[in-house]
Amino acid sequence: MEHSAERVVDTVKADRRRVLIITALVAIPLIAWTLTQMSLLSFGTQILNGLSFGAVLFFLASGFTMIFGLLRIANLAHGGFYLMGGYVGITTTLVTGQFWLGLIAGGLAIMVLGVFAERVLLRRIRGLVKPEVLLTIGLTFVIGDLSLAMWGGDPRTVPLPGYLKGPIQIGDSFFYPKYRVFVLGLAIVLAAILFYIDRRTKIGAIVRAGVDDRETVAALGININAVFTIAFMFGAFIAGMSGVIGAGFLALLPGQDFEILLFALVVVIIGGLGSLEGAVLGAAVVGLIDSFAKALVPELSFFTLFAPMAIILMIRPNGLLGKAP
Amino acid sequence: MNPLRALSLTRRVQLALLVGALVAGMVLPHVVSSFILRLVTLALVSALFAMSVDLMAGYAGLVTIGQAGILGTAMYGVGYVASKTDGGIALQITVGFVAGMTAAVIFGLMAMRSSGVYFILITIAQGMIIWGLASLLVNITGAENGLPGIRRPVNIESGFRYYYATLVVVLICSLALFVVVRSPFGHALKGLRGSETRVRMLGHNSAFLKFYMFLVSGFFATVAGILLVYLNEFVNPTDVILGASALPVLMAILGGIGTLIGPFIGAFVIVFLRNWVSLRVDRWQTLMGLTFILVVLFAREGLVGAVSAWWHKRIDGRDGGVSSVLHEPEKREAVLSESG
């Protein structure tokens, strides 16, 4: 059958691209190392910095890409979700003294906001792609400005519990912040959970079917609107939580909503919209590029992000692991 | 025989409004305060900028939220020569123009093969990266401190004269855009909005078409940037933030997307609304966001569409008006010639 032959060709191509991204993951640090002859210790530090920043980006991009895959909404308010979730988490942690409560409060607050956005605002223009994007931009302005009114313009960080403070010792002379290692671990756990849900559970099967053909899923008697809302809730929850997690080592300040959104966008543009795997690989690539660029050419650190994105877009307009529109 | 009689009532009213607006534009500086005149000048520049966005968003159906990247690069080009070298006005404008068009070329090359949501995301990233460079390249852009020491050309230095200079440039550009959207190129752009597949079937290369669209739209954004930098006599990263790219989109939608007069009206409404609000409360961003949400949800055809629908219902009894360009549902197209 012609159709399945195309499928095979697609799979082979996707495999080739996967190899390409993983090669990039190995090549970026190696090239940076040969270029600068940095010591092994600072080289290791840069890799961990890149991967832990990539972990925060993955939290954000995974929700973004899932909402896009299922609802076909590019939710640009994700950056605003991150910022406000972080602020809520900081305040909760300060009041209760519990970091974990802050983490959950940040996620829950944004989940409520997300449900409001999905059920009250976005549902009115369901399926109208451009208005949906513009609406989420408007929402980001409101969220960002109200956050500024409530939490002020000074950089804020979340107070960490004692067991996450300070450095961790690896070997004799290598010290690295415990918290960043914790974030990296958390991202691996989340990725594992998401992959498990996606590949092995019924809800994952429904979501994957919904990505391919939502009309058929609805015709099979599944309440697709409820699935949409749950997906949006979940994506918003992770985004709010990622703000609290990020606030542990990246200070929150006004304007960061758009800055972190840009990084998340580059992750999904490189990885491909709607692809969970693309989000994992894209986040690692972007985190590493950012980390080494900041260490080597701090003034050009945005440009180093721009160049690979430009090249990928010219060759593959839908990202490396994205599906054809 | 009066040639005006050959025109329909609608055309005659439109003509009268246009002449009225022109006359008002000519006599305005003699009537209003210099503060209001400055706002009107800003609104004119914003209108030109919003029209450049509308050419993409309204005519070709490709929404860009990175156009301030082109406008801002032109501003920085002028500002760099004025602030860091002793180049004269001619050199300033030349460098500003080349800088803006270079940005347009690069943006175009990156985005020309994409459409729909991907196009929006790419243009956002482009605009944001210009902002990142503006904030980080201290030696060239002065980062947050911006580039001071930009002065208007001597013979149009006063706000009064600068207004007339802006008016003339914006009118010429509007006329040029009027010609562009009615040219075969303009119709091909509108074709992109309807169906990219069909445009390709008719023998156009849709990627090249989008690239040319970036050049034409970028030209007008560049001109707007040069006008803006001399109006403000300053440039810093706030000129290229995401809000600066989103604002012309809001102006176009509020006024009436897919028309040339819409962005004009939207620009005047937004500029004066912003000024009115900013004098009272410090929450302009919230209001801008809310306006975005409300316009997208409820005022789909914009002010021009609303007025036009009301007029046609009253005069012709037909249910005319502008159909919403933005709210056309995305068509699922068969992909004809896409290969890895």
Pick the CATH number of A2-32+43-315 from 3.30.420, 1.10.3470, 1.10.287, 2.60.40: 1.10.3470
Alpha helices in A201-255 (DSSP H): 202-212, 214-219, 224-246
Q: Which residues of B touch A268 (CB under 8 A)?
A: 121
Task: Assess if residue B52 is contained within a domain.
Answer: yes
The residues, any chain, with a CB within 8 Å of residue B291's CB and separated by 6 or more, are A138, B250, B254, B270, B273
Q: Give the pair of three-digit tokens for residue A69.
A: 């895959």
How many structural domains is chain B composed of? Answer: 1
Does any domain span residue B129? yes
A-chain CB neighbours of B109 within 8 Å are 310, 314
| Cross-chain CB nearest to B116 (options A125, A129, A309) | A129
Q: What residue numbers bound the domain in which B113 lies?
A: 32-239
Q: DSSP string spanning B75-108?
A: HHHHHHHHHHS---HHHHHHHHHHHHHHHHHHHH
Give the pLDDT confidence score for residue B239 in this predicted structure: 94
In angstroms, the separation between the Cα of residue B54 and the nearest Cα of chain A is 14
CATH of the domain at B162: 1.10.3470.10
B58 located within any domain: yes
C-alpha distances out from residue A280 to A191, A303, B212, B284, B300, Å: 8, 22, 36, 37, 38
Report, as an integer, the average pLDDT of A216-230. 87
Q: Do A262 and B289 touch (CB under 8 A)?
A: no
Domain ranges in chain A are 2-32+43-315
Chain A: give the shortest CA distance to residue B289, in Å: 4
Q: B46: closest CA among B180, B213, B245?
A: B245
Using a CB-CB distance cutoff of 8 angstroms, which residues of chain B are in contact with residue A125?
Answer: 296-297, 327
A303:B133 CB<8 A = yes
Q: Report yes or no: A72 and A138 within 8 Å, Cβ to Cβ.
A: no
**Which chain A residues have a beta carbon less than 8 Å from that of B242?**
137, 258
Distance CA B182, CA B189 (A): 10
B65 found inside a domain: yes
* Chain B residues within 8 A of A258 when measuring between CB atoms: 128, 241-242
Which whole number is the average pLDDT over A221-246?
Answer: 91
DSSP symbol at B322: P
pLDDT band per the 50, 70, 90 thresholds, residue A8: low
Mean pLDDT value across chain A = 86
Q: What is the pLDDT of residues B188-234, one digit of tens each?
A: 999 888 788 888 888 888 899 999 999 999 999 999 999 999 999 99
Give the number of A-B residue pairs with CB atoms closer than 8 Å: 150
Nearest Cα neighbor of A59 from A250, A322, A317, A320 is A250
Interchain CB distance below 8 Å, A313 and B117: no
- Residues of chain B found within 8 Å of residue A303, distances taken between Cβ atoms: 129, 132-133
Chain A residue with minimum CA distance to B66:
A262
Does A210 have pLDDT greater than 90?
Answer: no
Q: B200, B336 in Cβ contact below 8 A?
A: yes
Contact A145 B285 (CB under 8 A): yes
List pLDDT tens digits, range A137-186.
Answer: 999 999 999 999 999 889 999 999 888 888 888 777 788 899 999 999 99
Query: Which segments in chain B show pLDDT lower than 50?
Result: 321, 332-340
Residue A186: both structure tokens together: 């958390």
pLDDT value of residue A1: 42
φ/ψ of residue A175, rounded to 5:
-115, 140
Q: Give the per-residue pLDDT at A323.
A: 60
* Nearest CA among A143, A95, A93, A152 for reference residue A116: A143
B340 contacts in chain A (CB < 8 Å): 13, 316
Domain assignment present for B273: no
CB atoms B330 and A128 under 8 Å: yes
What tokens were used for A251? 């200070």
Asked, for residue B268, whether it belongs to a domain, the answer is: no
Task: Please count the CA atoms within 13 angstroms of the CA of A167 that sit on its side-chain side.
Answer: 9
**B128 reaches A (C-beta below 8 A):** yes
CB proximity list for A102: less than 8 A, separation 6 or greater: A88, A89, A90, A91, A92, A93, A96, A158, A244
d(CA A81, CA A58): 15
- Measured in degrees and rounded to the nearest 5, phi and psi for residue A129 equal -60, -50
Most confident of A69-78, A127-136, B167-176: B167-176
**pLDDT at B4 (0 to 100):** 64
Predicted local distance difference test score (pLDDT) of residue A325: 46
Of B115, B120, B138, the CB nearest to A133: B120
Cα distances from A232 to residues A73, A110, A207, in angstroms, run: 10, 11, 12
pLDDT of residue B323: 57
